[in-house]
Structure 1
Amino acid sequence: MMDYIRSVLSFIFAISVMYMLLDCEIMRKRDRYLLGLYVAIMLVCDGLVLLNLGYAQFMKLYPLLVHLPVFLAFVFISKFKPIKVFFILLTLIAISTSFSLVGLIISSFFDSSREIVNIVCYILYLPTGFIIYKYIRPPFLYMMNNTDKGWFGFCIIPLSYSILIYSIAKYDLDNVIIRPILKDAVLLFILTLSAYFLILRFFKQTREQITLQNEQNLLMTQVAAAQIHFESLEESQEKTMLYRHDMRHHLNLINSYLADNNQEAAQKYITEVEETINCAVVEKYCRNYTVNLILSSYIARAKNEQITVETQINLPQKNVVSDMDLCVIFANALENAISACKGIYGTNDRIIKIVSKVNNNKLYIQITNSFDGTIIFVDDMPISTDTNHGFGTKSIAAIAHKYGGMYSFTAEDRIFKTSIIL
C-alpha cells in the first residue's frame, strides 16, 4: 500500500513542479475541458493496466503509460517548444528517482526496509519543491524565455540517466534491494547531479551575457532617444530665436499698415504670422516635458507619412519610471508602429493609437497600430527578419523587467498591440 501512495505522491509532485517550471497558464475554457478529458482517459487506461497486470508490470511500462502522456499534455498547455518541455520532464524524472535512491541509501543501514524508503520519499517532497521554486525555477525560466539554442545537448544528460536507471531497476525497488547494484545507481546519480551543477552554472553565465547584451541594447536606444530629445529641443530653440529676430520686422510692417490706415492688410498679416507661429509650437500631449518632446517628434513624423494618430495620454510630470526609460519605451514602440503603418498601401488604414494613464500607482502604456502581412512570434516576442532590427521590443521588455512590471506584444486582426504596466 505504501508503494502505491509513494507512486501517487511522486506523480503529483512531478506534475506540480513541471507546471511550475514551465510557468503554465490555461486561459481558455475549451483547453481546460480538453485537458480534463485527456487526463481522465489517461487515468482510466492506466488504472485498467494496473488492475490487470499488477504493480510490478505497471512500473515496467511506466515510461509509456505515464511519461509519454504527461509530455504530450504539457506540450499542449505550455508556451515553450517541445524540446524544452522534454528537458523539464527528464529533469523531474531525475529528481523523482533521486528520492528513492536517497531512501535506499538510508534504508541500507536498517536491513533495506521498503517502509524507510517510502518514508524518506514522503519527507523530501515539500523541501525539494521549495528549493526548486526558490533557486532552480528562476534560472530555468530565464533560459527558456531567452534562448533557443543548446537544448538538445542539455537533454542528453538527464536522458542518459533516465535510460540507465530504468535499465538497472525498471522502477522496481525490489530490483535494487535484492541485487547489489545500489552503488552503481548512486554513482550514476552523483555524476548526473554534477552535470546539473554545470548546467546551472552555464545558465547563470548565459543569463549574465544576455543581461549585458540587453543593457547594451538599452543604452543604444537611450542614446538614440536622447539624441531625438536634443534635436527637438535644438529645433525649438532655433525657431524661437528666429521668430524673436523676425518679430521686430513683423511689428514694423504692421505699424506701417496701421499708419496708412490699412486695417484689413494689418489684420491679414497678423493672421498669417499667428498661423506660422502655431506651426512652430511644440504640441502638448502630456505634462512630462521630456516625454512630450519625443511624442511631438514621432507624432509629427507619423502625420507626415499620412498616418492617423489618436492619443489619450495622462502622464504626470514626475513618475517612478525615469524620463529616459519612458522615452525609450515610446521611441521604440512608435518607431515600430510608424514603420509598420508605412507598409500599408491605403493611407486611410494607417492608424496609431497611444494610450497612457496611471491607476493605483501603476503606469499603463498601450500603443496599437495597423499593419499588413504576417508577424512572426517566438516565445511571445515578435521577431524581425531585417538586419539590425528587433532590438526595440527587447529594450521595452528589459525596462519592464527593470521595474518588475509586465509587458505583452500581440497581433490580431491586422492590429499590433504593445502593452506595458510598470
Structure 2
Amino acid sequence: MNVLTVPNGIVVALFGIVLSASFCDICWTKRNRIVLAAGTAAILLLQGAITFGASWDAMQELYPFTTHLPLAAVLGVLSGDWLWPTISVFAAYLCCQLRRWAALLVVALMPTPADWLQPAIEMLVTLPLLAALLRYVAPSARSFAHYPRSMQLQFGVVPLAGYLSDYVTRIYTSLLADGNQAAVEFMFFVSSVMYIVFIFRFSAEESARGQLEQTRNNLKLQVGQAVREIEALRTSQQQTRAYRHDLRHHLQYISACIENGRGEQAQEYIQSICSEIEASKVTIYCENEAANLIFSSFAGRSESCGVPLNIQAHIPQLISVAETDLCVLLSNALENALRACRRMKAENGPVYIEVTAREKNGHLFLQFVNPCPEGIQFENGLPVTNAEGHGVGVRSICAIVEKYKGLSDFSVQEGRFILRVSL
C-alpha cells in the first residue's frame, strides 16, 4: 500500500459504478440519477470506513459484499430487472482490468519503477478509457438487456469466470502467485469453451440468416410473379369488357348480313371473332393450376421478347411439392433461361427455351434447356457469376431441392445450358 492506493481505489470504484450503470437499460431521470449518486456515496463511505477502521486488505476481501452486491441491487431496482444489471457489474469489473494491464505494461518497460507508478498510470488512463467505453461499448452492451435471457447468460459467462478467478486465485488465496497449474490455466479453459460455444452459435445464426434471406428472395419472386399475373388478368378483363361492349355491334352486323342474304360473309365474320377470342384465352399446359399460371405468364413474356418457348408438361393437380415451392422453382428456372436468351439475342445467337415436366410415382422431374454463351464457370457443380443481383435463382433452386431431399444437375452440353431437377 502506498500514498496513491486509496485515491486509486476511489477512482476505480467510480469507474466501475459509472460503467456498470451505462451498460444497463435505465431511463436516467432526475430521480434515478439521485438514487445512483446516493448509492455511490454510501458505497464509498462504507469502503472508507472499512479501510481506515480495519485495513485495505479487509476492504478488498469484503469488496463483493460492500460494493458489487449493493451496486447490482441499486441497478436492479432502477432497471426493473436483476439478471442484466448483475452481468453488467461483472462486465464492468472485467473492463477494470484494462486499467491494470495498461499500467503493468508501462511498469514493465521501466528499469526500476517506483511503487506509486502503477496506481498513478491506472488513474491517468481511467478517464480516456471510460470515455472510449461509454462511446463505443456501452450502446452495444445496453442492447443485450432486450435479448433473451439465454443469450444474456452466454454473454455473462466470461465476465463471471474472470470475476471468480480473480477473487479466488488472487484476493482470497495466493494460488495465482504460487503458480498453481489449475489457477494459471483456468481462464484459458474458459476461453476455449466459450470459443466452441461461439462457433456453434455463429453457425446457427448464419444458418437462420441464410433461411431468412432465402425466404425473403422467394417472397420477392412470388410478389413479382403475382404482379405480372394481376397485370395479365387486368388485360384479360379489359378485353372482356371490350368484347361485351362490342357484342351489340357484332350482332347487328351479323343480323344485317343475314337479312340481306349474305350468309357466307356473316359466317366469315363469326369465324374472325372466334379466332380473336381463341387467341386471348389462357393456354392449358398441364392440370396443375400453379404450374399452368407460371407457364402462361412466362409464355407471354417469352413471346414479347421474341423467344420461342416449348413446354411439354404433365403435372397433376395433387403433387408432393408445395405450390409455393413449385412456383419459386419454375419461376427461377424460367427467369434464368429467359435472361440467358436475351443475352444470346443481343449477340445474334440462337434463342429458345425447352421445358419438360412430368410426374411419376410421386416424383416430379423437371428439365429446362436454353442456349448459352461460352465460358460459363462452375463451382461445386453450380454455375457462378460475379454480376450483381445474379445467382439468387440458383441458390433458391438448390434450397428447394435440398428441402425435399431431391437431386439437381446443372450442365452445359454443345452450347446448351441444361438444368435437371428431381423431387
> With structure 2 as the length reference, what TM-score do the two structures score?
0.51
Q: How does 1:22-421 map to 2 (within 5 A)?
A: 195-345=195-345, 349-421=350-422
Q: Runs of 5+ in structure 1 lacking a partner?
A: 1-180
Contact 2:341 2:351 in 1 (8 A): yes
Cα distance 1:380–1:196, how it changes in 2: closer, same or farther (>3 A)?
farther
Q: Secondary structure at the match of 2:317?
A: coil
Q: Secondary structure at the match of 1:299?
A: helix
Contact 1:221 1:395 in 2 (8 A): no
Q: Distance in 2 between matches of 1:347 and 1:296?
A: 26
Q: Distance in 2 between matches of 1:204 and 1:364?
A: 32
Q: Distance in 1 between matches of 2:413 and 2:190?
A: 49
Q: Secondary structure at the match of 1:349?
A: coil
Q: Secondary structure at the match of 1:283?
A: coil
Q: Secondary structure at the match of 1:377?
A: strand
Q: Distance in 2 between matches of 1:348 and 1:252?
A: 50
2:78 match: none
Q: Runs of 5+ in structure 2 lacking a partner?
A: 1-180
Q: Distance in 1 between matches of 2:314 and 2:349?
A: 27
Q: Distance in 2 between matches of 1:319 and 1:226?
A: 22
Contact 1:307 1:347 in 2 (8 A): no
Contact 2:332 2:393 in 1 (8 A): yes
Q: Secondary structure at the match of 1:317?
A: coil
Contact 1:410 1:416 in 2 (8 A): yes
Kindly name which structure, 1 or 2, has the bigger radius of gyration based on alpha carbons. 2
Cα distance 1:360–1:220, how it changes in 2: closer, same or farther (>3 A)?
same
Report how many aligned residue pairs link the two structures.
Answer: 242
Q: Distance in 2 between matches of 1:254 and 1:263?
A: 9
Contact 2:319 2:362 in 1 (8 A): no
Give how far 1:385 is off: 3.0
Cα distance 1:216–1:348, how it changes in 2: closer, same or farther (>3 A)?
closer
The runs of at least 4 consecutive aligned structure 1 residues that moved more than 3 Å come to 187-198, 345-348
Cα distance 1:193–1:360, how it changes in 2: closer, same or farther (>3 A)?
farther
Cα distance 1:204–1:362, how it changes in 2: closer, same or farther (>3 A)?
same
1:88 match: none
Q: Report percent identity of matched pairs.
A: 32
Contact 2:383 2:410 in 1 (8 A): yes
Give how far 1:298 is off: 0.7
Q: Secondary structure at the match of 2:388?
A: coil
Letter in 1 for 2:250: H
Contact 1:232 1:293 in 2 (8 A): no
Q: Distance in 2 between matches of 1:193 and 1:408?
A: 41
Q: Secondary structure at the match of 2:318?
A: coil
Letter in 2 for 1:392: G
Q: Secondary structure at the match of 2:250?
A: helix
Give how far 1:317 is off: 1.6
Contact 1:226 1:324 in 2 (8 A): no
Q: Distance in 1 between matches of 2:380 and 2:190?
A: 33
Letter in 1 for 2:372: F
Q: Secondary structure at the match of 2:316?
A: coil
Letter in 2 for 1:257: C
Provide, for residues 116-175 of structure 1, a one-character-per-residue CA deviation record: whole Å limited to 9, x for no partner.
xxxxxxxxxxxxxxxxxxxxxxxxxxxxxxxxxxxxxxxxxxxxxxxxxxxxxxxxxxxx
1:66 match: none
> With structure 1 as the length reference, what TM-score do the two structures score?
0.51
Give how far 1:389 is off: 2.6
Cα distance 1:348–1:205, how it changes in 2: closer, same or farther (>3 A)?
closer
Letter in 1 for 2:393: G
1:116 match: none
Q: Distance in 1 between matches of 2:275 and 2:261?
A: 23
Provide, for residues 243-274 of structure 1, a one-character-per-residue CA deviation record: whole Å limited to 9, x for no partner.
23322221221111111111232122122212
Letter in 1 for 2:415: R
Cα distance 1:293–1:240, how it changes in 2: closer, same or farther (>3 A)?
farther
Provide, for residues 68-92 of structure 1, a one-character-per-residue CA deviation record: whole Å limited to 9, x for no partner.
xxxxxxxxxxxxxxxxxxxxxxxxx
Provide, for residues 257-309 of structure 1, a one-character-per-residue CA deviation record: whole Å limited to 9, x for no partner.
11111123212212221221121111111112232122112122223333232
Q: Distance in 2 between matches of 1:241 and 1:321?
A: 37
Give how far 1:189 is off: 9.6
Provide, for residues 194-219 of structure 1, a one-character-per-residue CA deviation record: whole Å limited to 9, x for no partner.
64443233222211211111111111
1:169 match: none
Letter in 1 for 2:247: M
Give how far 1:372 is off: 1.6
